[in-house]
Amino acid sequence: RLLSCPGTVAAALGTEEQSSGSAETGSEDGAPKKRFSEVQKERREQAQRTVLIHCPNKISEKKFLKYLSQHGSINNHFFYESFGLYAVVEFSQKESVASLQKVTRTPSLGTEAAIPFRSRYFNLKLKTPLNQTSEQSSIQCRNQSSPSSKKLFELLCCAESVDDQLNTLLREFQLTEENTKLRYLTCSLIEDVAAAYFPDCTVRPFGSSVNSFGKLGCDLDMFLDLDEIEKFGTHKASGNFLMEFQVKNVPSERIATQKILSVIGECLEHFGPGCVGVQKILNARCPLVRFSHQASGFQCDLTANNRIALKSSELLYIYGALDSRVRALVFSIRCWARAHSLTSSIPGAWITNFSLTVMVIFFLQRRSPPILPTLDYLKTLADAEDKCLIEGHNCTFVRDFNRIKPSGNAETLELLLKEFFEYFGNFAFNKNSINIRQGREQNKPESSPLHIQNPFETSLNISKNVSQSQLQKFIDLARESAWILHQEDKDRLSPSNNQPWGLAALLLPSVANSMSLAKKKKKTSSERIKNLLESIKSSSTENSTATNG
Ligand code: CTP
Ligand code: MG
């Protein structure tokens, strides 16, 4: 069946994307999975030996590599396009970067003046343009964006089963190896700027760039880690002396964070090559500096003092690595939510991808037998080294995958997708809170329409922003999607008529449209679907009981 599909399918199933999946969490074919801290350390170190080069549109790859090799051997390189041609080049040694910087000049601009910041982001110029006859091997660019909806529909309709559809969607949307490298490199370049104020600081990516749930095109969340500097300094005090820095004091941790981010924001705006549209959003609950990194095309959110968020990224990474169904289901739910405008890139009363991910994890903890363990259980498996206390919050959980027993649950993705919609289509959101620490519903401690407990800062609701009407939209769409999948089950034996089916049918905007057309009847139609669903289910249970009997 695959062979009869458009050529894109073969490309999509090629080795490149498959290897990118394994880069995140270790190989999917049973090879050991890497710990989160190992991945972070390895990639960070790689990024520090890497440079970003804006290239002329026509260059000879061979000569380009030969030219750069003068500074040392090159481990790895790739090209990508984003308003011009860019190369990411990873040297084997950090010294090569310094050697390249040494022979690089600051441009002399006609009427304007340059801020002479010597970064690892370069501009390559040709002294004489390449002539047409010289070797101009066409440069292969690595794609950095997600597939168009047309291509996605083609792929989904060609899939063999709903399970295959979910896995295809995951393969198409997950971050590629190159995109992940570019994310770590961007953090590393920002770290160089921040190091002007705080030498030895660390800028770490967190959120979907590293938690294995990131989709091509997602934002780049990073945080400026100054605690790491402190760790270097914890030498054993000798004798009776203890040395402290003379510092300026401010009334609170929050104010300190705001002041630090404020100067880094200024620095990025004035000196940061490729950083544009810098906005300081310092009054938010978690103060941040937002900017675009033009060369990589990433929308960046820089925070400081945000170790708990890094810990929650690690937790999601573990959940994503525990069972191969988790990421497939999360990606499909995220895409479904995006297709129906339940999520948005603009902040507001919408449900967020982070909340959706936690909802999927919770749902998988509720299966029988559970597909994912509770956070409290992961805490019981922790050893002394896993102990982690951040700002008074206990963030301890086991970090070694080998100590977590795989689930005995063998449910298909198709069933899980359907049951997810049914579960949340009928969830008592008015009474209950979603809690992945305990893996069961809790009474809502406050009246927000949607309450999802923050796994570490347990007094916080990660979906406090969600309005009643957005929650209702989610419930209505979940019910309709469950209904569509049930209908398909019933019609399974009828001849296919080239209509989008399975996941593809759920991503069609027409579902949402028909609902907004029937706006006035909305509540009743949603209730009707719920009742219809129940009647289908009870009749199919009766049938199966009858057959079994
Ligand atoms: N976060 C949190 N509480 C929130 C929102 C966010 O703890 N209410 C943390 C989570 O660790 C989250 C990270 O901040 O992963 C980044 O937030 P965000 O960018 O909103 O979510 P992502 O998971 O990165 O998803 P997306 O792909 O939509 O960016
Ligand atoms: Mg994000």
ipTM, interface predicted TM-score of the complex: 0.98
DSSP designation for 452:
B
Do residues 60 and 138 lie in contact, with contact meaning Cβ atoms separated by under 8 Å? no
For residue 116, the model assigns a pLDDT of: 87
Give nearest CA residue, ligand 1 atom 21: 354
DSSP H stretches of helix in 250-391? 253-271, 307-322, 324-339, 353-365, 375-380
Is 174 touching ligand 1 by the criterion CB < 6 Å?
Answer: no
Parallel, antiparallel or unpaired: strands 288-293 and 50-55: unpaired
Do residues 303 and 261 lie in contact, with contact meaning Cβ atoms separated by under 8 Å? yes
For residue 15, the model assigns a pLDDT of: 35
Do residues 185 and 44 lie in contact, with contact meaning Cβ atoms separated by under 8 Å? no
Ligand 1 atom at shortest distance from the alpha carbon of 354? 23
For residue 500, the model assigns a pLDDT of: 87
Do residues 438 and 373 lie in contact, with contact meaning Cβ atoms separated by under 8 Å? no
For residue 536, the model assigns a pLDDT of: 66
Do residues 216 and 82 lie in contact, with contact meaning Cβ atoms separated by under 8 Å? no
pTM: 0.89
Residues of the chain with confidence (pLDDT) below 70: 1-32, 130-137, 228-237, 490, 492-498, 510-525, 536-549
Is 218 touching ligand 1 by the criterion CB < 6 Å?
Answer: yes
Is 352 touching ligand 1 by the criterion CB < 6 Å?
Answer: yes
Is 312 touching ligand 1 by the criterion CB < 6 Å?
Answer: yes
**Structure-token pair, residue 400:** 């070694």
Give CA–CA dist 549/546, Å, rounded: 5
Ligand nearest, relative to CA of residue 303: 1
Is 179 touching ligand 1 by the criterion CB < 6 Å?
Answer: no
For residue 448, the model assigns a pLDDT of: 96
Neighbouring CB atoms inside 10 A of 244's CB total 5
In the reported structure, the alpha carbon of residue 208 is separated from the centroid of ligand 1 by a whole-number distance in angstroms of: 7
Residues with CB under 5 A from ligand 2 (ion): 207-208, 219, 221
In the reported structure, the alpha carbon of residue 209 is separated from the centroid of ligand 2 by a whole-number distance in angstroms of: 7
In the reported structure, the alpha carbon of residue 471 is separated from the centroid of ligand 1 by a whole-number distance in angstroms of: 19
Is 306 touching ligand 1 by the criterion CB < 6 Å?
Answer: no
For residue 352, the model assigns a pLDDT of: 97
DSSP designation for 461:
B
Is 322 touching ligand 1 by the criterion CB < 6 Å?
Answer: no
Residue 99 gets the label, from left (phi > 0), alpha (psi -120 to 50) or beta, of: alpha
Is 212 touching ligand 1 by the criterion CB < 6 Å?
Answer: no
Positive or negative, the CA dihedral 137, 143, 148, 154 is positive
3-state secondary structure of 202: strand
In the reported structure, the alpha carbon of residue 219 is separated from the centroid of ligand 2 by a whole-number distance in angstroms of: 5
In the reported structure, the alpha carbon of residue 276 is separated from the centroid of ligand 1 by a whole-number distance in angstroms of: 22
Phi, psi of 319 (to 5 degrees): -60, -40
Is 441 touching ligand 1 by the criterion CB < 6 Å?
Answer: no
